[in-house]
Amino acid sequence: MKNSPFKFLSIAILIGVVVYFAAEGYQYITDPFTTTLAYPSQSAASIELDGWMIRSEETFSSGAVTLSHVLGEGAHVGAGQTIAIAYQNEDALKTVGEIEEQELQLQQLEFAMSTYLDADAALKLDSSINDSILQLQGSVSRGDYSTAADDISALKAAILKRSHTYSSNDEIQANIDTVKKSLRTLRNSLSNAQNITAPKAGTYSAICDGYETTLTPKMLKKLKPSRLDKVKSTDTTANVGKLIYGSTWYYAANVTAEQARQLTKGQSAKLHFAKGFEQDIPVTVYRISAQEDGRQTVILTGNRYIAQTTQLRHQQAELILATYSGIRVPANALRMNEEGQGGVYCVVGMTAQFKPAEVVYQGDGYTLIKPTADAAGEQILRTGDEVIITAAELEVGKVIEP
């Protein structure tokens, strides 16, 4: 019997909790009151695409025993400029590698000579190394491996320049003379070298994927969904690389007829690739094919970033038709006041106040809105306002109980 008071106390607490939640549930059913904070947001009207990059391209091949590629990915090439060097000697590539190392060492020594009595130059180089590391990290995180390769080369060169110290100018000059002599010997050992040159100006790429002859600008006028579905690469022996002519490129993708109805020829938009390049690219709708089994081929064209997109071919992308900015609120928070004006009710102090607003964009379960032009004072909707989502019998001045 000693435990009886504790049992009665436990039962009383349990009854109190049940009564509390029952009262809260009744209050919610009779007057369901919930709020949220308004905050700025952006949304885009867009179409998801899965398509192909199309460019004017020419591939090059060589039967040489050894090839040395002298250009970086995306480099601009002038007519007659060397894009690769062909050697008949198997050991030539090793010699070329030694020459490149010696040239890098010569740069390091010449930098050491110029900065021997200049401490500020060394500090600037340290800052440059830090910047190069950050640039490399950004390129890798974006999946932009072409730029990352260039970043690595620049970082390596900078580190090598900073890696040694010398006791005197005479010591540095002696090393410079030794390296120059070694370079002359190595260059003289290369024989029967043949330069492979560009027939006309273009953008160089070392990557050939076999689509250079199956995806061409000439096919665009007759391109339709069934034909794009059957696109295949061909076997290629292009070991030198390729040149991309002009700055204009195309992107072709199949879409549903419903999606195609959102587009018109000549319409401006922005294309955002899923990987390989992070910036939004301005494009124009070049052509929309006839409908075929409920699908149509959309061809976009652009003339920017040709050097940065040389390695892109089959790419998923987002076609951004328009972007909208506004204050984001739940869709069910929108209401009409007694005068038939649209807007939202907000908690101001202890009362409900109506703030007129215009719909900017209707999303899935949310809406972007902005204050009306004639709103003034406390009627202006602002970021951070406590917007009422659900409540019974809302009206201006209604007292809101906490």
353 φ/ψ angles, rounded to the nearest 5 degrees:
-125, 135
pLDDT for the residue numbered 63? 85
Burial class (CB in 10 A: 0-12, 13-18, 19+), 319: buried
Question: What value, to the nearest 5°, has the Cα angle with vertex 287 and ends 286 and 290?
Answer: 175
pLDDT for the residue numbered 267? 97
pLDDT for the residue numbered 19? 56
CB atoms within 10 A of CB 301: 17
> Are 287 and 301 contacting, i.e. CB atoms less than 8 angstroms apart?
no
55 φ/ψ angles, rounded to the nearest 5 degrees:
-140, 165
Nearest residue to 46 via CA among 357, 255, 265, 289: 255
pTM recorded for the entire structure: 0.69
Residues with Cβ within 8 Å of 365's Cβ and at least 6 positions away in sequence, in order, are 330, 331
> Are 258 and 298 contacting, i.e. CB atoms less than 8 angstroms apart?
no
Diameter of the chain measured on Cα atoms: 111
Antiparallel, parallel or unpaired: β 351-362 and 82-87: unpaired
Cα–Cα distance for residue pair 49/316, rounded to 1 Å: 6
CB atoms within 10 A of CB 380: 13
Question: For the chain, which residues score pLDDT lower than 50?
Answer: 1-2, 26-30
**What order of strands is seen across the sheet that includes strand 194-197?**
66-69, 82-87, 194-197
Q: Token match 């009422």: residue?
A: 388
**CA distance to 155, 158, 164, per residue, from 113 (Å):** 20, 15, 11
> Are 67 and 239 contacting, i.e. CB atoms less than 8 angstroms apart?
yes
Cα–Cα distance for residue pair 122/127, rounded to 1 Å: 9
Half-sphere exposure of 210 (CA within 13 A, CB side): 7
Nearest residue to 369 via CA among 78, 380, 208: 380
What is the residue type of 140? V
pLDDT for the residue numbered 145? 64
pLDDT for the residue numbered 30? 47
In the chain, the N- to C-terminal Cα span, in Å, equals: 44
> Are 39 and 218 contacting, i.e. CB atoms less than 8 angstroms apart?
no
Cα–Cα distance for residue pair 342/357, rounded to 1 Å: 6
